[in-house]
Amino acid sequence: MPEILVLNGPNLNLLGTREPATYGRATLEDVRALCEAAGERHGFGIDFRQSNHEGALIDALHEARARHAGVVLNAGAYTHTSVALRDAISAIGLPVVEVHLTNIHAREAFRHRSHIAPVALGMICGFGPQGYALAIDALGAHLAGAS
Amino acid sequence: MPEILVLNGPNLNLLGTREPATYGRATLEDVRALCEAAGERHGFGIDFRQSNHEGALIDALHEARARHAGVVLNAGAYTHTSVALRDAISAIGLPVVEVHLTNIHAREAFRHRSHIAPVALGMICGFGPQGYALAIDALGAHLAGAS
Amino acid sequence: MPEILVLNGPNLNLLGTREPATYGRATLEDVRALCEAAGERHGFGIDFRQSNHEGALIDALHEARARHAGVVLNAGAYTHTSVALRDAISAIGLPVVEVHLTNIHAREAFRHRSHIAPVALGMICGFGPQGYALAIDALGAHLAGAS
Amino acid sequence: MPEILVLNGPNLNLLGTREPATYGRATLEDVRALCEAAGERHGFGIDFRQSNHEGALIDALHEARARHAGVVLNAGAYTHTSVALRDAISAIGLPVVEVHLTNIHAREAFRHRSHIAPVALGMICGFGPQGYALAIDALGAHLAGAS
Amino acid sequence: MPEILVLNGPNLNLLGTREPATYGRATLEDVRALCEAAGERHGFGIDFRQSNHEGALIDALHEARARHAGVVLNAGAYTHTSVALRDAISAIGLPVVEVHLTNIHAREAFRHRSHIAPVALGMICGFGPQGYALAIDALGAHLAGAS
Amino acid sequence: MPEILVLNGPNLNLLGTREPATYGRATLEDVRALCEAAGERHGFGIDFRQSNHEGALIDALHEARARHAGVVLNAGAYTHTSVALRDAISAIGLPVVEVHLTNIHAREAFRHRSHIAPVALGMICGFGPQGYALAIDALGAHLAGAS
Amino acid sequence: MPEILVLNGPNLNLLGTREPATYGRATLEDVRALCEAAGERHGFGIDFRQSNHEGALIDALHEARARHAGVVLNAGAYTHTSVALRDAISAIGLPVVEVHLTNIHAREAFRHRSHIAPVALGMICGFGPQGYALAIDALGAHLAGAS
Amino acid sequence: MPEILVLNGPNLNLLGTREPATYGRATLEDVRALCEAAGERHGFGIDFRQSNHEGALIDALHEARARHAGVVLNAGAYTHTSVALRDAISAIGLPVVEVHLTNIHAREAFRHRSHIAPVALGMICGFGPQGYALAIDALGAHLAGAS
Amino acid sequence: MPEILVLNGPNLNLLGTREPATYGRATLEDVRALCEAAGERHGFGIDFRQSNHEGALIDALHEARARHAGVVLNAGAYTHTSVALRDAISAIGLPVVEVHLTNIHAREAFRHRSHIAPVALGMICGFGPQGYALAIDALGAHLAGAS
Amino acid sequence: MPEILVLNGPNLNLLGTREPATYGRATLEDVRALCEAAGERHGFGIDFRQSNHEGALIDALHEARARHAGVVLNAGAYTHTSVALRDAISAIGLPVVEVHLTNIHAREAFRHRSHIAPVALGMICGFGPQGYALAIDALGAHLAGAS
Amino acid sequence: MPEILVLNGPNLNLLGTREPATYGRATLEDVRALCEAAGERHGFGIDFRQSNHEGALIDALHEARARHAGVVLNAGAYTHTSVALRDAISAIGLPVVEVHLTNIHAREAFRHRSHIAPVALGMICGFGPQGYALAIDALGAHLAGAS
Amino acid sequence: MPEILVLNGPNLNLLGTREPATYGRATLEDVRALCEAAGERHGFGIDFRQSNHEGALIDALHEARARHAGVVLNAGAYTHTSVALRDAISAIGLPVVEVHLTNIHAREAFRHRSHIAPVALGMICGFGPQGYALAIDALGAHLAGAS
């Protein structure tokens, strides 16, 4: 069964308890369940991870090259500062869908720039945890179209 | 049956025949069919329109206030230049999902700025016509959650 | 009786129902009445119009050349994006007073720039519908001075 | 009888003799008479002052807190450079109408930015001395509405 | 007989009467005659149009795809603000020659940027109505070379 | 007994009554008492002053050269606009500690730039009146270390 | 006994041996002792840590939520580049005092911007190791005021 | 017989052999022939020159004052960097038509700025060697109109 | 005997004792003597003043209108921040020569911009006190030429 | 035998398999061999490392202080974003040669800025793996010159 | 007898005949005479040159190292574009006084930046040919002071 | 024997005597010797030239097309200002290695931009005259690899 890597960046481990007015009350475990349900619809296994370390996220993307069919990436704040994550995405050659819980264009100006977007397949933002399910659907459609 | 307005901006009438390397070979009629199928899954009627006139797009958004439950908007090039469309979205108070066929962040710098994004519910870009279906799914989930 | 064109741009048709916390509860009809009262004080007829179409606003300004003594213009969001309206004002050679319901300098940065201001006689902003009456007073004084 | 402070900033003492092509031939005494006439229409006393000293303008605004119902402020060149005047306006909590004799948006770029506008009730510019009368009218309408 | 679309944007209908110091005394009808004479030299019919509506200009470009061999476009002020016109030019795949009556580089800074130039075959500016004839000559040479 | 000049800039005379949500309820007299208590702990006399006049603040700094061991400076809004205060600090060669009641980095962008900071010993901001006491402590430690 | 986290970022482990002309001769152990003495005055335990890893600093801030009453943070160079640290501070909801040994405003331009300052309680910079003691004093006063 | 100076700047001597994908296969001798043919149509002699030296181009423009009726100038890369050439054009008071083989607005951003355009009669770009003939036509029409 | 106003701005009273490495060891009295000697050569009386108050400098310029033949102005730091001084110079219509002791172009970037230069007759900087004598010579030549 | 640290940053572990059109087909092991050969020529041992973790690269530089004679650093994408690496280089006081496989100035604009270059001995870029050997030669010459 | 090099840049050979409204009616020969008179007063020979070639100006500065006591440089338009002239001045170590006929700060924005000013002894602008005499006076005073 | 052109730009003729603290004490003759030694190792003849004239450097690059196998270019200050040199490099199609004696990234901001780098094979800077030898080595490896 093909597997999708769902990779979460810094501070997402606090989801549900962190600024719920901004990020909602669903926890990262709730997001995982939502992803697994969506994966099941497409016949994908889900490898769900989180790290606060930029280097660990890069390592995870590198590993994905041999193991996964695609990536759903919520890079959190590294979205706005990490060229290294951008290069990792270019390097592994897998389809990557960028997800954000909030509409980053409706927040502070420094959140409007994404280093990742130019090398991602596409971006989905502003729909909360539901965005992860949409991302898996998008990946499903993309991989079906590519095969 | 609640209805969704799917509103398409300038040059989208040429879809399928316009720069297919960038925009794909599906026509706007294909997109309409895709939207109607997605609408059906959520019990939405689809009101599907296109105009090259900024004023006509504003008029259509104004009408939507009394008739539609939500809007999927691909404002095309007006995305990058129209404050008037932004104000129309603020004025009507409906949930609006911004869609783009291409990943606008991976193209020319002047396409990175969206006047619409800060007042939209969220944005989906880069997945071709499939993005419209995802937008209707996002709207379905949002309206279900809001009811 | 000399006539003044009072020209309103995009989204102003929704006045009174649109974001009342920002734009107040007076409708465009209320503004028209206020203008007619002010016009009467100066012996002006009032030609009061609104359009969401940039081209229609330009057409209206062109017509004004032969018919009106001056213009009160609330170009709404086109204020910030339309060089064509600026050029129309330069072209017709009539005195144009720019009006805004809100204090545009106290809002988002993109509302601080007016393409129209450099070719207008003057600007009045921040006084709600009352600003239209002040604009007609200003025009009255200007036309009296110029005659 | 409620009193309005009409406060004039640097170089306005030279009015009438200073660059008449730009600023006109009316003197500051003419402007005072015009303000007193306008005040009379609204039942306002007029406290009319001028200083070339930024600190003296701040002192005058502070005093106004206990004595005046509102302020008409032509801060002259300090408009473009003084954050301290902005803070004084915020501090005193009175309605302040910003006035300029000339259309500052039609002049050099450094005159387009007003530090005062974001904390003023509104701005009137481009109508010469007449702008002071319009400002007093605006203040009259505002104070009538607020009472 | 192959036909050339000569498309004129906002405010050009006022040509000859609009700021003659800047734009000259020739009317748009004079320009049409000049174009027809130039067309005749190359064996082209001339379809000569003007609109103040951005959307109408886009519609006209779309129609040109099936009917015309090339386009001479003076987009007026939309040159500086319209990404939608740029996209229309890319979409139709016809050779488009950009023309301006005045030397836009010798005027205000906001007139230096052309959204259209990067997708046009070339640009001719500064030669008044004569520029239209040069544009038709350029198109003639281009089409002769391309056949 | 060595003396410290505590110098307060524009609008600080209104402290306690000015926008208490931003600046708190302590008055400038309360701040003076707090400074005198802190001074006592270090064996410093306190010369506590306020002016709304940039020139008067410069004069006070000049006088300090002969009379004071160091300066605590809250230049208020002049922080962001006065190169002359910066030069006065460089000129007198005394250690100057910059204090702000609020965290200027968490406010409007124009408050982020301090002309004074590059020539101050250090900066303390965001701790309300307590910041003055911390500044005197910092000055005490610095003067003790320097002796 | 309430505990304060004193968290040190990259390169601070080299303190005392690293560019002493800029950073002084006190070692990080000296700073720890200074903090413990200051903590004792307020009845705080001190949890003193250093890491060169951005992710480890984020992890430490997350842990602090359950264990510490407040944070003194010298994020070193990550101050200028890390949005993830900013988000971690927002997420944990503890009072954080930003400290820098040097006056960052008196150094290279890229050190003037702090991603952390807008979400910190306040900032203290330029006083060398003494700044840590001032920060603990500020935290002590804040926590006393908040209880 | 009046003479036109056709002046070519740096690297144009390599035309035809230099990056033909960008600049085409016509040599500078071919361009000269094309100019002479165009000149003949207008009764102009052609003085055709090229230099890689900015100073030599300035010297040539100076000489033109006494000898030529007008100038066609392709300044190559000096277009983007030379204020001295701009000043030379202003100094000699002859009509100068700026020509570029390629559409400089469709190339790298640093080629979009022309120091020469603001003082030229007009600009023609994007039509390859044909642009020189158009420039001579434009000059012919201009000189005919001016006589 | 015609009189020249030599007007000195903030911090210049400290000359000779203020950062002598930058500003030299001559005092303001030395500069006065130098000016008087230069004035004598041209038959000018010298009115030599200094103030740290922007408003006082404006007042002095206003007075000059009736009393002096020209002005030598070293506005110190107000050079870089005062639009009000600029406007005062425009208002009085006297020839003003701007002087700086140091070469302001060789110092910090914020000293490169002069608000005064665009309305001054000319500028002399970098020659220390000698610059004042050169300025009086320049004024002498100018007044001789103008008479 | 003196040892050189050759330190490689993020994504360089994928060398040879990562975008070979950009980065070539040599693996990191090939680069190591090339470095060891170059080291041998100069009598240097080579300590060759790679990490995707910014913090680990900083740790490695810190260790180098006691163990190595110099550093060859290819910081990959951290080159463009890491002030912490810059500070680590300043802190350790060893000669550091910056190397890049590609010519970073010929790629995207965000790759043109190097945080490391200002504190490095020098930079070598664009020569592929060969650049490492040149860097070791440069270090050899530098250390020979410095001894 | 010590000699001064007076070096004139591009287009200055046309002085007197070039745009006399801007540059006046004195010719370069008149300026030479003025310089020789001024030189005589100080006991300087004058070596007066002009070239339109940047390289020739650099060559002249190099030669000056061995032959001249100082330089008066009017680099014309190269002032704004030539880093090479700046480096030549740094390289030769002679005092260089920068002169401009016009007040470059009162002209177009691109003339406000001088590459030469930061390495010149000082600058004199706005006084026409008289500025050359003042520059020689300044050089005379400087050389007298330095000996 | 294949020949390498080593081309040196403005002011490099003064090497050894020009600001030795920045550029070292080796003369250009020393650099030539170093290049000849390096060339010999690779079997290259060395054609070593210098000019202060931008046009002469362009001429030399043009000649190289027929005579040399590659170029080592130290364009000095023209690096930062010359688009014409960039275009010459593109035009001749030879491998060009850019060399700088100093680390241009560690100097003034205007030296950070190289017009040449984007079209060069690679860049070597910061290693003094040794950089020329490294450049010849790089060229040797490149030419060996390309054959």
**CA torsion, ordered J7, J11, J13, J19, to nearest 10 deg:** -130
Residue B112: pLDDT band (50, 70, 90) is very high
CB contact set of C17 (below 8 Å; sequence gap of 6+)? C27
Instruction: Determine phi and psi for A121, rounding to 5 degrees.
Output: -65, -45
Residue type, H106: A
- The answer to whether C127 contacts D142, with C-beta atoms less than 8 Å apart, is yes
- For residue D92, the chain F residue with the least C-alpha distance is F18
**Whether the predicted pLDDT of J24 surpasses 80:** yes
d(Cα G42, Cα G44) in Å, to the nearest integer?
6
d(Cα C11, Cα C26) in Å, to the nearest integer?
14
d(Cα I1, Cα I140) in Å, to the nearest integer?
13
CA proximity to J72, closest of J104, J46, J51 = J46
Residue type, F38: A
**Whether the predicted pLDDT of I142 surpasses 60:** yes
Residue type, F91: A
Whole-number pLDDT of residue C146:
58
Q: How many CB atoms lie within 10 A of CB A42?
A: 16
CA atoms within 13 A on the CB side of E50: 13
CB contact set of C45 (below 8 Å; sequence gap of 6+)? C1, C2, C3, C4, C39
**Residue A30, exposed/middle/buried by CB under 10 A (0-12, 13-18, 19+)?**
middle
Residue identified by tokens 């190099």 is K62
d(Cα B131, Cα B73) in Å, to the nearest integer?
11
> pLDDT of D25-46, one tens digit each?
899 999 999 999 999 999 999 9
Q: Is the dihedral of CA B8, B11, B14, B20 positive or negative?
A: negative
Contact call for L and H: 3+ CB–CB distances under 8 Å: yes
**Whether the predicted pLDDT of G147 surpasses 60:** no
Q: How many CB atoms lie within 10 A of CB G143?
A: 16
Of B14, B56, B110, the CB nearest to E83: B110
Whole-number pLDDT of residue I50:
98
- The answer to whether A127 contacts B138, with C-beta atoms less than 8 Å apart, is yes
> pLDDT of F103-122, one tens digit each?
999 999 999 999 999 999 99
- In chain G, which residues have their Cβ closer than 8 Å to the Cβ of J83? 77-78, 80-81, 110-111
- The answer to whether F84 contacts I51, with C-beta atoms less than 8 Å apart, is no
Q: Please, are residues G85 and G54 in contact by the beta-carbon 8 Å criterion?
A: yes
- The answer to whether E14 contacts C62, with C-beta atoms less than 8 Å apart, is yes
> pLDDT of I87-116, one tens digit each?
999 999 999 999 999 999 999 999 999 999
- For residue A92, the chain J residue with the least C-alpha distance is J18
**Whether the predicted pLDDT of B29 surpasses 90:** yes
Buried b / exposed e over G84-103, threshold 16 CB at 10 Å, is bbbbbbebbebbbbbbbbbb
What 3 state SS string does chain J have? CCEEEEEECCCHHHCCCCCHHHHCCCCHHHHHHHHHHHHHHHCCEEEEEECCCHHHHHHHHHHHHHHCCEEEEECHHHHHCCHHHHHHHHHHCCCEEEEECCCHHHCCHHHCCCCCHHHCCEEEECCCCHHHHHHHHHHHHHHHHHC
pTM of this prediction? 0.94
Whole-number pLDDT of residue D124:
98
* H or E, element range at I31: helix I28-42
Q: How far is CA J78 from CA J9, J83, J105, in A?
A: 7, 9, 16
Q: What is the DSSP string of chain A?
A: --EEEEEE-TTGGGTTTS-HHHH-S--HHHHHHHHHHHHHHHT-EEEEEE-S-HHHHHHHHHHHHHH-SEEEEE-TTHHHH-HHHHHHHHHH---EEEEESS-GGGS-GGGS--SSGGGSSEEEESSTTHHHHHHHHHHHHHHHHH-
Q: Which domain holds residue E63?
A: 3-146
Whole-number pLDDT of residue G146:
58
- In chain D, which residues have their Cβ closer than 8 Å to the Cβ of I53? 53, 55
Residue identified by tokens 């463009």 is J80
Testing the interface with L: which of H7, H8, H18 to mutate, by most L Cβ within 10 A? H18
| CA F1 to chain CA mean position, Å | 20
d(Cα J2, Cα J140) in Å, to the nearest integer?
11
Residue H146: pLDDT band (50, 70, 90) is low
* H or E, element range at G60: helix G54-67
- In chain K, which residues have their Cβ closer than 8 Å to the Cβ of L8? none
Angle at A22 between CA A16 and CA A26, to 5 degrees: 25
Q: How far is CA D102 from CA D74, D112, D117, F133, in A?
A: 11, 11, 15, 47
- For residue G51, the chain J residue with the least C-alpha distance is J55
Q: Please, are residues D106 and C117 in contact by the beta-carbon 8 Å criterion?
A: yes
- In chain A, which residues have their Cβ closer than 8 Å to the Cβ of J76? 84, 87
What are the residues of chain C with a beta carbon less than 8 Å away from any beta carbon of chain B?
9-11, 13-14, 18-19, 51-56, 76-78, 80-81, 110-111
* H or E, element range at L45: strand L45-50
Helices A54-67, J54-67: axis angle to 10 degrees equals 110
Of H13, H14, H78, the CB nearest to L84: H78
d(Cα D68, Cα D61) in Å, to the nearest integer?
9
CA proximity to D52, closest of D15, D107, D100 = D15
Mean pLDDT calculated for residue range G134-146:
92
Residue K146: pLDDT band (50, 70, 90) is low
Whole-number pLDDT of residue J39:
97
Angle at A7 between CA A4 and CA A10, to 5 degrees: 175
Stronger pLDDT, H145 or B76, i.e. the higher one: B76
- The answer to whether L127 contacts J130, with C-beta atoms less than 8 Å apart, is no
Counting the structural domains of chain E, the total is 1
Q: Which of B123-132, F53-62, G21-30, J16-25 has the lowest mean pLDDT?
A: J16-25
**Whether the predicted pLDDT of G66 surpasses 60:** yes
Residue A146: pLDDT band (50, 70, 90) is low
Please, what is the average pLDDT of chain K? 95
Stronger pLDDT, D21 or D61, i.e. the higher one: D61
Q: How far is CA B54 from CA E115, I71, K123, in A?
A: 17, 57, 54
How far away is chain C from the Cα of E54, in angstroms, using its nearest Cα? 7
Strand partners, H47: H5
Q: What percent of chain I has pLDDT above 70? A: 99
- The answer to whether I105 contacts K124, with C-beta atoms less than 8 Å apart, is no
> pLDDT of E1-13, one tens digit each?
899 999 999 999 9
Identify the active-site residue in L68, L78, L100, L115: L100
pLDDT tens for each residue of chain L, 147 residues long: 899 999 999 999 999 887 888 888 899 999 999 999 999 999 999 999 999 999 999 999 999 999 999 999 999 999 999 999 999 999 999 999 999 999 999 999 999 999 999 999 999 999 999 999 999 999 999 999 855
**Residue H46, exposed/middle/buried by CB under 10 A (0-12, 13-18, 19+)?**
buried
> pLDDT of C15-66, one tens digit each?
988 788 888 889 999 999 999 999 999 999 999 999 999 999 999 999 999 9
In the structure encoding, which two tokens stand for residue K86, read together? 């700046």
- The answer to whether L103 contacts J124, with C-beta atoms less than 8 Å apart, is no
Of D82, D91, D92, the CB nearest to F81: D82
Q: Between chain J and chain L, how many beta carbons pairs sit less than 8 Å apart? A: 76
**Whether the predicted pLDDT of I145 surpasses 90:** no
Testing the interface with H: which of E90, E103, E114, E115 to mutate, by most H Cβ within 10 A? E103
d(Cα D20, Cα D13) in Å, to the nearest integer?
13
What CATH number does residue H108 fall under? 3.40.50.9100
CA atoms within 13 A on the CB side of H54: 36
Whole-number pLDDT of residue A145:
84
> pLDDT of H63-73, one tens digit each?
999 999 999 99
- For residue G99, the chain F residue with the least C-alpha distance is F124
Stronger pLDDT, H109 or J61, i.e. the higher one: J61
> pLDDT of A11-47, one tens digit each?
999 998 878 888 888 999 999 999 999 999 999 999 9
d(Cα D34, Cα D48) in Å, to the nearest integer?
11
- In chain D, which residues have their Cβ closer than 8 Å to the Cβ of F10? 55, 58, 84, 87-88
CA proximity to F80, closest of F50, F101, F110, F106 = F110
**Residue I38, exposed/middle/buried by CB under 10 A (0-12, 13-18, 19+)?**
buried
- In chain C, which residues have their Cβ closer than 8 Å to the Cβ of D137? 134, 137
> pLDDT of K75-113, one tens digit each?
999 999 999 999 999 999 999 999 999 999 999 999 999
- For residue H56, the chain K residue with the least C-alpha distance is K53
d(Cα H27, Cα D8) in Å, to the nearest integer?
68
Q: How many CB atoms lie within 10 A of CB C3?
A: 15
CA proximity to G121, closest of G101, G146, G84, G147 = G146
Testing the interface with L: which of K83, K89, K119 to mutate, by most L Cβ within 10 A? K83
Radius of gyration (C-alpha) of chain I in whole angstroms: 14
What is the greatest pairwise CA distance in chain E? Answer: 41
CA proximity to E114, closest of H92, F45, H114 = H114
- In chain H, which residues have their Cβ closer than 8 Å to the Cβ of L88? 10-11, 52
> pLDDT of J59-87, one tens digit each?
999 999 999 999 999 999 999 999 999 99
> pLDDT of E59-82, one tens digit each?
999 999 999 999 999 999 999 999
**Whether the predicted pLDDT of B89 surpasses 80:** yes
What are the residues of chain A with a beta carbon less than 8 Å away from any beta carbon of chain B?
103, 105-106, 114, 117-127, 130-131, 134, 137-138, 141-142
Of B13, B56, B81, the CB nearest to E83: B81
Contact call for H and I: 3+ CB–CB distances under 8 Å: no
Of B58, B83, B92, the CB nearest to C52: B58
How far away is chain B from the Cα of E34, in angstroms, using its nearest Cα? 30
